[in-house]
Structure 1
Amino acid sequence: MGVSLKDVALRAGVSVKTVSNVVNDYPHVTPTTRARVQRAIDDLGYRPNLTARHLRKGRTGIIALAIPELGNPYFAEVAGAVIDAAARHSLTVLLDHTAGSREKEMLVTQGFGAHVIDGLILSPIRLENEDLAARGDGPPMVLLGEREYDAPYDHIMVDNVGAARAAVRHLLDIGRRRIAYLGARRESTRQPAHLRLRGWRQAILAAGLEPDESMVVATEGYDRRDGAAAMAALLDREERPDAVFAYNDLMAIGAMRTLVERGLRVPDDVAVVGFDDIEEGRYGSVSLSTVSPDKAALARLAVDCLVERIDRRDAAEPPAPRRIEPGYRLIARESTAVRRS
């Protein structure tokens, strides 16, 4: 049989209630007693019955995370960070893959019942404001990701415009003037691609230059092959860029491959900056400069907001919806090193 609260109480010389208070991290336990109980827990190898604890609260102890691309390293890293953050709340994460499909995103927002999960973290790509407004009375939900929404949900997202502006300003600071943007989209202006394009324009205008719209390349996707094809299309034009800001690291990696195949040097001929700071970008033959969102903070804030929503679901006055923007930083690596003479 497993170790019980009573066994721990006997070992520590305290009541079962005191052990319960320590296990549930209640504040009204003296440090000395807490330390004695914790020693007993460690000595006996006690593990709390999380299922029973959640059931007593009328919960499942499970939250869902829905992301658009399991194969994208950025989303994989974010998912890992969410799982770690949820574990600190003794929560299990049910992972779903929407493939960036509006139908699947709609199904996720409406298809999970309160008897399955306690709450949902959704990273939407295709949903519009009216889709979110039409959501019924499901489990609490928090939005995670780069699209802009006017919806009554907490939303954890990076400042796309500011981050893109910082990336392009870095290229300007190292002397580049013909700066391309790879990854524009023809869809809703709330898409992160449009927001990053806005940052590209703002940085160039702030430098006293006129944005050259011929340096903007639209793509259907955001993978390595999309970056490679976009870079090839750009190089086929009359005037070559001397720098590239790509929508994400995957596109930047694809673009650098095309540059090498065309006999151009990175960064001597063309400097490159990506976005996301995925691990792959750190270990190429030329390490990639990138915008690095604080993925751990994104995940922690999303989980903390969701837990608060779950805890206060029946409150008379729940917290007002919040938009929270964790930090980011520009990491300069070899792909934007100063030109060699």
Structure 2
Amino acid sequence: MATTLRDVARHARVSVKTVSNVVNDYPHVSDDVRRRVREAVRALGYRPNLAARTLRTGRTGLLAFVVADVEAPGLHGLAREVVRAATSQGFRVVVEPHGPGTLPSARAGGPHGVDAVLLATDVAPPGMVDARLDAGTPLVLLGESGDPRCDRVALDGVRAAADATEHLLRTGRRRIAAIGAGPGEATGPAQPRTLGYQRAVRRAGLDLPAGYLRATAQHRYEDGHRAALRLFAHEHPPDAVFCYSDRLAIGALRAAADAGLRVPTDVAVIGIGDSAEGRYSRPTLTSVSADPAFLARTAVALAVARLDRPDAPPTRITAPHTILPRESTRPAA
């Protein structure tokens, strides 16, 4: 038999009306009562009647978590946290991929639609943003760059890149290259991670050779491998490489092995993302980690708040990050 609101109320020692208020995220409920009700919801496995909710509120109780690459390192952990955060707010989650020039299939409103979209990408396709905003659907971006009309939560790319580069400097490296710049950055605006890398290099007073900033079309393993091989064939090869993602960094680890270089003795490598692949690579990969639980909780909270206040100014929140030192950046002897 399905768990009812009355079952949750009995378990939490509150009224059925109070449970309904918490499930529907109404204000004016104390933090203690809200916590007790949500604990009861999780303990009993209560699932709201979405059809009744849609009729009553015009909402479906669904959030779409849209990703550019379903195989991206770290995505599974983030998706798990998004589901956990959404469930605590009484929502279910559908996960959808999007490719270049495509829009997610989940429509706004209607029996098969979603109440809000969480988009995990650094580049939000303009068509997607326009379509969602025109439909009045909240769109929350999880990425360092994004449309100023949307709520956003993300790593501070400038600070994270600077911290990663400074970590390499503290290990004694001085010829630090970078992999992951955009193809157009040589003549156009630099992305946050490029700015952070360049800032740390300047602060250290380093005059690095031309060609140390390597652009990649994407952040695939093969892109990191190809760019790293070119760096290792440089007239003055680097003794460290900062990669804009763990995928690029793992490609660079393979390139070092192919070039007969030892990591970290001959060259140190650091990435961003704290992926499972990096934790189990050989050597294990030093990485910059954002807190996926923080990202998920904040993104879901922004989406829910936007449902209640659709005309509020966009909110931008910076997620904390930390360096996780591993074998790939042991200090130089």
TM-score category (smaller protein) = 0.7 to 0.9
| 1:78 CA displacement | 2.0
Partner deviation per Cα, 1:86-119 (whole Å, 9 max, x = no partner): 11112111111113x1x21xx349x722221111
| 1:39 CA displacement | 12
Residues 86-101 of structure 1 mapped to structure 2, 5 A cutoff: 86-99=86-99, 101=100
| 1:141 CA displacement | 1.4
Mapped contact 2:122–2:146 kept (Cα < 8 A): no
Q: Is 1:331 the equivalent of 2:324?
A: yes
Do the aligned partners of residues 250 and 214 (structure 1) sit closer, same or farther apart at CA in structure 2, a change above 3 Å counting?
same
Partner deviation per Cα, 1:48-91 (whole Å, 9 max, x = no partner): 54323454222111011111000112333322221121111121
| 1:188 CA displacement | 7.0
SS at match of 2:155: coil
- Which amino acid letter does the alignment assign opposite residue 217 of structure 2? E
Partner deviation per Cα, 1:265-292 (whole Å, 9 max, x = no partner): 1111001111111111111221111111
Structure 2: 5+ residue stretches without partners: none
Aligned mate of 1:213, from 206, 210, 213: 210
Mapped contact 1:223–1:251 kept (Cα < 8 A): yes
Mapped contact 2:53–2:60 kept (Cα < 8 A): no
Q: Is 1:59 the equivalent of 2:52?
A: no
Do the aligned partners of residues 144 and 165 (structure 1) sit closer, same or farther apart at CA in structure 2, a change above 3 Å counting?
same
**Greater Rg, structure 1 or structure 2?**
1
User: How many angstroms apart in 2 are the aligned matches of 1:40 and 1:160?
Assistant: 39
| 1:5 CA displacement | 5.0
User: How many angstroms apart in 1 are the aligned matches of 2:61 and 2:45?
Assistant: 19
Q: Partner of 1:261 in structure 2?
A: 258
User: How many angstroms apart in 2 are the aligned matches of 1:39 and 1:172?
Assistant: 46
Q: Partner of 1:177 in structure 2?
A: 174
Q: Partner of 2:315 in structure 1?
A: 322
SS at match of 2:301: helix
Q: Is 1:306 the equivalent of 2:303?
A: yes
Mapped contact 2:138–2:307 kept (Cα < 8 A): yes
SS at match of 1:59: coil
Residues 1-341 of structure 1 mapped to structure 2, 5 A cutoff: 2=2, 4=4, 18-22=15-19, 24-25=21-22, 47=46, 49-51=48-50, 52-99=52-99, 101=100, 103-104=101-102, 107-108=103-104, 112-115=107-110, 116-127=113-124, 132=129, 135-149=133-147, 151-187=148-184, 194-313=191-310, 318-340=311-333
Partner deviation per Cα, 1:126-163 (whole Å, 9 max, x = no partner): 446697467413312111112244x2211111110110
Mapped contact 1:183–1:193 kept (Cα < 8 A): no
TM-score by length of 2: 0.84
| 1:3 CA displacement | 5.7
Do the aligned partners of residues 60 and 225 (structure 1) sit closer, same or farther apart at CA in structure 2, a change above 3 Å counting?
same
Q: CA RMSD in A?
A: 3.4
User: How many angstroms apart in 2 are the aligned matches of 1:201 and 1:40?
Assistant: 51
| 1:322 CA displacement | 1.1
User: How many angstroms apart in 2 are the aligned matches of 1:8 and 1:131?
Assistant: 39
Mapped contact 2:64–2:118 kept (Cα < 8 A): yes
| 1:23 CA displacement | 5.4
Do the aligned partners of residues 300 and 212 (structure 1) sit closer, same or farther apart at CA in structure 2, a change above 3 Å counting?
farther
- Size of the aligned set, in residue pairs, is 322
SS at match of 2:134: coil
Partner deviation per Cα, 1:145-198 (whole Å, 9 max, x = no partner): 12244x221111111011000000111111111101011212479x99722111
SS at match of 1:136: helix
- Which amino acid letter does the alignment assign opposite residue 306 of structure 1? A
Mapped contact 1:179–1:241 kept (Cα < 8 A): yes
User: How many angstroms apart in 1 are the aligned matches of 2:218 and 2:272?
Assistant: 15
